[in-house]
Amino acid sequence: MNNGAGKRINGGVEEDDEEDDVNGDLDAWERTYTDERSWESLQEDESGMLRPIDNQALYHSQYRRRLRSLSSTAARIQKGLIRYLYIVIDLSKAASEMDFRPSRIAVIAKHVEAFIREFFYQNPLSQVGIVTIKDGVASCLTDLGGSPESHINALMKKLECSGDSSLQNALDLVDGYLNQIPSYGHREVLLLYSALSTCDPGDIMETIQKCRKSKIRCSVIGLAAEMFICKHLCQETGGTYSVALDESHFKELILEHAPPPPAIAEFAVANLIKMGFPQRAAEGSISICSCHKEAKVGAGYTCPRCKARACELPTECRVCGLTLVSSPHLARSYHHLFPIAPFDEVSSSRLNDPIRKQQRNCFGCQQNLLDSVNKAGLAVVCPKCKRYFCLDCDIYIHESLHNCPGCDSFRHSKAATANED
């Protein structure tokens, strides 16, 4: 019996090895189709034929639904533009599981890099720090700062996974750092949690209440199953809790934390903030950097109050405590205060109506809107300037440009006419 079982086990191992050898003989593009379950990307049309799913149309429809849901409450929500966010990454042995290909930690590192870049693009006045959990101990990988490259480089060097995870130790560590943040800053924590348990030295419920009193908004993205303690943490601190189903879902969930979240009503207090606009030093100048406490040659930024040197912006002067920013940072934060209203959908029948002389080309890219409608299902029109756009330009205007080209051209033409008069 035992020998037979052993043979079956060995046989199974040998069969698995043979399958691995077969996959190893395939080219990279063949392995992609083998691994990614490409048959799930097919759908049956009206005539019974199999056709590939139109992912672009699905993306457009999801974008329009998200835009409508956000716009329904955007006019009544106060958002925090100066955010102090700690990304807590679980590096316990659970993060080395391979249910996400090639592993959970590889997927986390890939999308955390994209998230950090997107975060600083949408929040130029904010700062990010990284905390890791390994062997039941939480450690600060990078301090709060405004340089995406320094965070990404430090993270890519520390991706080893081992031991258990401790949610309480991570919250205690982050609470100690965020308590030093000024009152105008919005304190946030984003936990990327892979484990199904937490090994804590004390009562984690007290730690959660301490985070709530410290006005720290905690959000969790789980890579395994739902955990009660994570859900309770998010409910108590006003954050969000979600569990990733696959890599694409994880990417969508983590990028949802890039835009500024709604400010909690009891913590939303208006403040006037002193800011300095430093001048860039000459290329050949030599000065002592207040950040690294060493002499550096090359361009830097000089604090307008105490004349200390800083390497990057935005930051806080280490000598006088003045917040140092540049004017482009303020300009890029402006669109969160006054977002563009969602464009109205236009049906193909309205564009084809011969009685109405409608605009037939996209005002942005100048392509034929009828072709765009036939492919994606609809076009859009700005409610203010009444200019028509395709869906690709609609997405670009709302997510990247943050200005309507039709409204801007109308204002410029109106100003030019006034000057001529």
Q: How many structural domains is the chain composed of?
A: 3
Please indicate, yes or no, if residue 173 is contained in any of the structural domains.
yes
Q: What is the pLDDT of residue 129?
A: 96
253: Cβ–Cβ under 8 A, 6 or more apart, which residues? Answer: 221, 242, 244
Please indicate, yes or no, if residue 55 is contained in any of the structural domains.
no
For the segment 374-383, what is each residue's pLDDT rounded down to a tens digit? Answer: 454 568 889 9
Q: Let me know how long the chain is.
A: 421
Please indicate, yes or no, if residue 385 is contained in any of the structural domains.
yes
Within 13 Å of residue 159, how many CA atoms lie on the same side as its CB? 16
- The residue type found at 200 is D
Top-ranked range on mean pLDDT: pick from 205-214, 340-349, 411-420: 205-214
232: Cβ–Cβ under 8 A, 6 or more apart, which residues? Answer: 208
270 compared with 24, residue with greater pLDDT? 270
Residues 349-365: what's their mean pLDDT? Answer: 72
Q: What is the pLDDT of residue 251?
A: 92
Q: What is the pLDDT of residue 15?
A: 44
Residue 240's φ and ψ, nearest 5 degrees, are: -120, 145
Domain that includes residue 357, residue range: 344-410
Domain boundary pick from 257, 292, 318: 257
Global confidence as pTM:
0.74
Domain boundary pick from 224, 257, 290: 257
What average pLDDT is seen over the chain? 79
Neighbours of 223 (CB within 10 A): 23
Residues 305 and 366 in one domain: no
Residues 222 and 184 in one domain: yes
Residues 205 and 225 in one domain: yes
Report the distance separating Cα 6 and Cα 17, nearest Å: 16
401 compared with 12, residue with greater pLDDT? 401
Cβ distance 386 to 396 under 8 Å? no
With H, G, I as helix, E, B as strand and everything else as coil, classify residue 371. Answer: helix
Domain boundary pick from 203, 226, 257: 257
Write down the residue that tokens 């189709």 correspond to.
33
Q: How confident is the model at residue 30 (pLDDT cuts 50, 70, 90)?
A: low
Please indicate, yes or no, if residue 180 is contained in any of the structural domains.
yes
141: Cβ–Cβ under 8 A, 6 or more apart, which residues? Answer: 129, 130, 131, 132, 154, 155, 158
The secondary structure of residue 278, as a DSSP letter, is P
- Reduce the secondary structure of 129-155 to three states and give it as a string: EEEEEECCEEEEEEEEECCHHHHHHHH
Residues 114 and 211 in one domain: yes
Within 13 Å of residue 153, how many CA atoms lie on the same side as its CB? 4
CATH number at residue 399: 3.30.40.10
Top-ranked range on mean pLDDT: pick from 183-192, 257-266, 268-277: 183-192
For the segment 233-262, what is each residue's pLDDT rounded down to a tens digit? Answer: 999 999 999 999 989 899 999 999 998 887
For the segment 89-142, what is each residue's pLDDT rounded down to a tens digit? Answer: 999 999 999 989 889 999 999 999 999 999 998 888 899 999 999 999 999 999
Q: What is the pLDDT of residue 53?
A: 56
